Structure 1
Amino acid sequence: MTGAAPVAGRDHGLVDIAVIGGGINGAGIARDAAGRGLKVLLCEKDDFAEGTSSRSGKLIHGGLRYLEYYEFRLVREALIEREVLLASAPHIIWPMRFVLPHSPEQRPAWLVRTGLLLYDHLGGRKQLPASRSLDLSQAPEGAPLRQEFRRGFEYSDCWVDDSRLVILNLIDAAQNGARILPRTRAVRARRDGELWLLEVRGDDGTEQVVRSRALVNAAGPWVQDVIQGVTGLNSAQNVRLVKGSHIVVPKFWDGPQAYLLQNTDRRVIFVNPYEDDLALIGTTDIPYQGRAEDVAIGEDETDYLLQVLRRYFRTPPQPSEIVHAFSGVRPLYDDNADNPSAVTRDYVFEVHGAEGAPPLLSIFGGKITTYRRLAEQAMQRLAPWFPKLSPAWTADRPLPGGDIGGSFDDFSRALASDYPDLPQKLIHHYARLYGTRARELLGAARIVADLGRHFGGDFYECEAAYLRAKEWAKLPADFLDRRTKHGLHLTPTERLAFESYI
């Protein structure tokens, strides 16, 4: 496995599938295909998960509110996947309980309770506890809420480190023989008999041609750019770009629970524990017309999120307490819904190609929870071109580092006992991000001095070296914002020092 972009004269030979796009869908497809014995190449114009896949609400969930739009198939598939993914990566995915204060102005209590009962059973829940009603005037979960919210409900979903989920899929793909090329742009592609000739350009300016039996367009917000600008084809489908923004503030309540708040516009806002002592709040839903690369949170979105918090919490955060904010563009399949919140989160495939012509498979829409099933179904769509394709395999295989056996807490304690002279908080960090790969990262280190230069917080030189060697990290944001969240815990001076080091 290598993190380097291609160099001049390097011959990738003939591959079975070339994937354009290093977000969660592209990574999932590359992993699935490589594990079936196909020769795979994946290229990404930026860093992996730099676009939508690192700017999500960081939840593996069925989508409780999608029940209102009768998306029963999507919700059921997502709830089933929630269990599959929780088992496959318990170091970066874990259960979370969500408290839903009842706001009768938005939805009657019977409707909410009915929806939660359906949510409990639609996906065959096995690992997570069922929903329940709460008396918020007595329950500790009601303590931070305003007095008028006396009734509530609680249900289960899962948290995920979204950008690490992308990286783990890519690592698994690489371990199965895939070529993984960050910062390598697809320039143009044309058919030549039964093959695609795909020209790619690395960030060093080096260009080369990849010969492939099939082309997968998993470019997310740029899916149309690839179809029209790279292949010169036309599409009958469209994506609808919707901006979702989040803010990060110091955590302002006690307990591990998250909150789901119903707003007066019938949207819902998540208030989730984040990085131990922070809170992640979002998301907005705003139609977006600009370049996906230029997306940024607006003052109106910040005001919107803070206003929802003021409605529900006794001591909500103030604008001056915002420590971080980010926006992402969700490339939703355009189903012509009037309300951005009602646009389907389902996914659609479009295949260009007939007998004797190599296929172009383009993906419209999708959500992080269903990426693995999306990858399986993408392979089904490509099966006519690969008649000897091996069966699906990812449903019961752990992602790299996820083979912890037993509970995460037991694994973390065992890891700490193996490194008794390292701070437990630091070991917990390594366990969370790397799972069983933490021992590979730590190597022969036994005391803090063995970890190399200290950049601040829990960030040491040995981890930076590991990310560079094993996870394609190159620029400061790759290390601080996507592979890890160390950037949230470094001072500006410490961040500048690390940027100088890199």
Structure 2
Amino acid sequence: MDNKNLASRNDRASQWQQLQQMTEPWDVLVAGGGITGAGVAREAARRGLRVLLVERQDFAWGTSSRSSKMVHGGLRYMAAGDFRTTRHSVQERERLLREAPGLVELMPYVMPHYRGHFPGPFLFNALLWLYDAFAGKRYRRFHKAASFHAQVPFLYDDGLTGATEFADAVTDDARLVLRVLREAQQDGAQTLNYVGVEQLLQQNGRVCGAVLKDALSGQQCDVRAQVVINATGAWVDELRGQLQQAPKIRPARGSHIVVAAERLPVTMAFTILHPDDQRPIFVYPWEGRTVIGTTDLDHPGLGNEEVGISRSELEYLLKLAAHRFPAAAVTEQDVIASWAGVRPLVSSGALNPSKEKRDHSVWDDQGLVSVSGGKLTTFRLIALDALNAARRYLTHWPAGDFPTQIFRPYKPQHPSWSALPAAIQQRLLGYYGQDTDALLQRAQSGELTVIPGTHTLWAELRFAAACEAVQHLDDLLLRRTRIGLLLEQGGMLWAEKIRAVCQPELGWSDEHWAAEQQRYEQIWQRYYSLPVSA
């Protein structure tokens, strides 16, 4: 199968046809195209295993495009005594900062301290001492109240005793998934979106493959594999249920709102305790906007459809902004977009989902190895744990040590590269890595410029449409790029320009484009805008 890209429109049909004709079993069939599945495919393929990854929606469609975009250690996990998760997360954060600058970026975080409120600066600094020790670097420092309020004059200052600054990182989670998938492909992994596991195949009491269904054509085919790795995150119980295994996952919804930076100008991520329940909420800069989130609510009855913010969650987040940033006076009318995702928490019976541990778990069910839980930051370690559980089913496990580096270094050669500003160079190389030259090659006159209101170049839209397995317009505007989260009306004010750039690459007729635009606008209005007033 062709490995030049993530399966463009022209080669997807041939990939599916080859799947139908194959008789030799795969070594590893991965179900789930989020960050965990991508990590499994990347680590398995680099070991020379024959890997097929399928995702029944779009790559990163679920939790992995709807997180808080943070690559962080998780201070609150350490405060709860989970030092192992924090240590691993901090070390993986540092790895990603080294390997993918431009995609994973260091960002200052700050915790304001108020008289009589927990946590005080002494205790918080003690936690940060260990946090920095895990990283092998000192990021922490204390700001006195007067100097800090001069930097952030719109912050509530009654009783402010100072603020402690530390560091974590921020990313575009969907683009992180795509880069990991591209690394897997370079080592031979095959990937298909909109292809799901319809039914597990079993022989002699053991899982030996799956019936796959192409959501675009409705066709099905049987695929054999030595082991099936179930990396479907919050949906992991669905496949385990086919083997009569008891549910293990507690789906928890987290929602965010996006406002214009000029309405709430922050240059660092604030950790603010909500006045109602003392949950830590982040207010942080992302892609030229300000994000407020996240909530943490049980989401029972999770299905194979989008989720959106509720009216009560919107009011909860706006109350947080009004509580600590009263001078900004952020209102519902200032919200550009929202997003909500469902996190897979491994249930321990805690009364509140915020109290559940964030570590991952692996279950081995006779040829179906399932993995769920954990953090975006530690996807590489999660993938290795899943593969280690899968080893017993593989007839061949490559000997020797393998590199731990996730991303291959790359130096673009295209003539237009040297003329680009340094910030755009770093962004493109971080987001696209080895595909940077291909993106520049496709760019037409005037397309190496930024789409107003975003950090995205017009050329990124063209490249995604041509080479990144875009099957629907929401793939393009909500995941390959984040235009739908950053621009008013989901970017449809630029609909004609987007169409002019992308329609030729997608090969869609005018009727097809019109249908896709209608579909996208309905999805955006229902799930990425604001909830209807009660």
User: Corresponding residue for 1:304?
Assistant: 316
Length-normalised TM-score, structure 2: 0.82
Contact kept in structure 2, 1:32 and 1:392, CA below 8 Å:
no
User: Corresponding residue for 1:443?
Assistant: 441
Instruction: Say if 2:357 is the partner of 1:344.
Output: yes
Instruction: Say if 2:219 is the partner of 1:242.
Output: no
Q: Map Cα deviations across residues 372-419 of structure 1 (whole Å, 9 max, x no partner).
A: 101111111122233533456352x2425x546xxxxxx9xx999745
Contact kept in structure 2, 1:415 and 1:431, CA below 8 Å:
no
Contact kept in structure 2, 1:8 and 1:207, CA below 8 Å:
no
Unaligned runs of 5+ in 1: 354-358, 405-410
Counterparts of 1:481-492 in structure 2, within 5 Å, are 481-487=478-484, 488-489=486-487, 491-492=491-492
SS at match of 2:398: coil
Q: From 149, 155, 171, give the equivalent of 2:166.
A: 155
In 1, Cα distance between the equivalents of 2:21 and 2:163?
60
Counterparts of 1:349-368 in structure 2, within 5 Å, are 349-353=362-366, 359-368=367-376
How many residue pairs are counted as aligned between the two chains?
A: 478
Counterparts of 1:164-183 in structure 2, within 5 Å, are 164-183=175-194
In 2, Cα distance between the equivalents of 1:236 and 1:391?
37
In 2, Cα distance between the equivalents of 1:474 and 1:63?
35
Contact kept in structure 1, 2:207 and 2:368, CA below 8 Å:
no
Instruction: Say if 2:229 is the partner of 1:216.
Output: yes
CA 1:87–1:394: 2 relative to 1, 3 Å: farther
Residue 258 of structure 1: CA displacement? Answer: 1.6
Contact kept in structure 1, 2:237 and 2:248, CA below 8 Å:
yes
User: Corresponding residue for 1:495?
Assistant: 495
CA 1:297–1:417: 2 relative to 1, 3 Å: same
Q: From 16, 24, 42, give the equivalent of 1:7.
A: 16
CA 1:300–1:102: 2 relative to 1, 3 Å: same
Q: Map Cα deviations across residues 247-306 of structure 1 (whole Å, 9 max, x no partner).
A: 000114556322111223121011111112x11110001111133424210111111111
CA 1:391–1:59: 2 relative to 1, 3 Å: farther
* Aligned partner letter, 1:44: E
User: Corresponding residue for 2:284?
Assistant: 272
Stretch moving more, 429-438 or 315-324: 429-438
User: Corresponding residue for 1:324?
Assistant: 337
SS at match of 1:371: helix
In 2, Cα distance between the equivalents of 1:236 and 1:491?
43
* Aligned partner letter, 1:135: K
User: Corresponding residue for 1:477?
Assistant: 474
User: Corresponding residue for 2:243?
Assistant: 233
Contact kept in structure 1, 2:414 and 2:441, CA below 8 Å:
no
Q: Map Cα deviations across residues 459-495 of structure 1 (whole Å, 9 max, x no partner).
A: 6775334224432222112111111123324742323
User: Corresponding residue for 1:144?
Assistant: 154
Residue 444 of structure 1: CA displacement? Answer: 7.4
Residue 163 of structure 1: CA displacement? Answer: 0.5
Q: Map Cα deviations across residues 191-234 of structure 1 (whole Å, 9 max, x no partner).
A: 22576131101121121111100010111121111122xxx202
Unaligned runs of 5+ in 2: 507-534
Residue 179 of structure 1: CA displacement? Answer: 1.2
Contact kept in structure 1, 2:179 and 2:431, CA below 8 Å:
no
* Aligned partner letter, 2:251: L
In 2, Cα distance between the equivalents of 1:247 and 1:99?
20
Counterparts of 1:402-421 in structure 2, within 5 Å, are 403=410, 418-420=417-419
Contact kept in structure 1, 2:207 and 2:228, CA below 8 Å:
no
Stretch moving more, 454-463 or 311-320: 454-463
In 1, Cα distance between the equivalents of 2:107 and 2:415?
24
Q: Map Cα deviations across residues 62-94 of structure 1 (whole Å, 9 max, x no partner).
A: 101112321111111111111122222112101
Counterparts of 1:68-87 in structure 2, within 5 Å, are 68-87=79-98
Residue 246 of structure 1: CA displacement? Answer: 0.3
Contact kept in structure 1, 2:362 and 2:385, CA below 8 Å:
no
CA 1:271–1:39: 2 relative to 1, 3 Å: same
* Aligned partner letter, 2:140: S
SS at match of 1:448: coil
Residue 54 of structure 1: CA displacement? Answer: 0.4
Contact kept in structure 2, 1:23 and 1:166, CA below 8 Å:
yes
* Aligned partner letter, 2:376: I
Residue 450 of structure 1: CA displacement? Answer: 7.3
Residue 427 of structure 1: CA displacement? Answer: 5.5
Contact kept in structure 2, 1:476 and 1:499, CA below 8 Å:
no
Contact kept in structure 1, 2:265 and 2:290, CA below 8 Å:
no
SS at match of 1:120: helix
Q: From 20, 26, 32, give the equivalent of 2:43.
A: 32
Residue 236 of structure 1: CA displacement? Answer: 4.4
SS at match of 1:204: coil
* Aligned partner letter, 2:324: Y
SS at match of 1:25: helix
CA 1:419–1:474: 2 relative to 1, 3 Å: farther
* Aligned partner letter, 1:137: A
CA 1:403–1:91: 2 relative to 1, 3 Å: farther
SS at match of 1:480: helix
CA 1:254–1:323: 2 relative to 1, 3 Å: closer
Stretch moving more, 314-323 or 107-116: 107-116
RMSD: 2.9
| % identity of equivalent residues | 32
* Aligned partner letter, 2:106: P
Instruction: Say if 2:112 is the partner of 1:101.
Output: yes
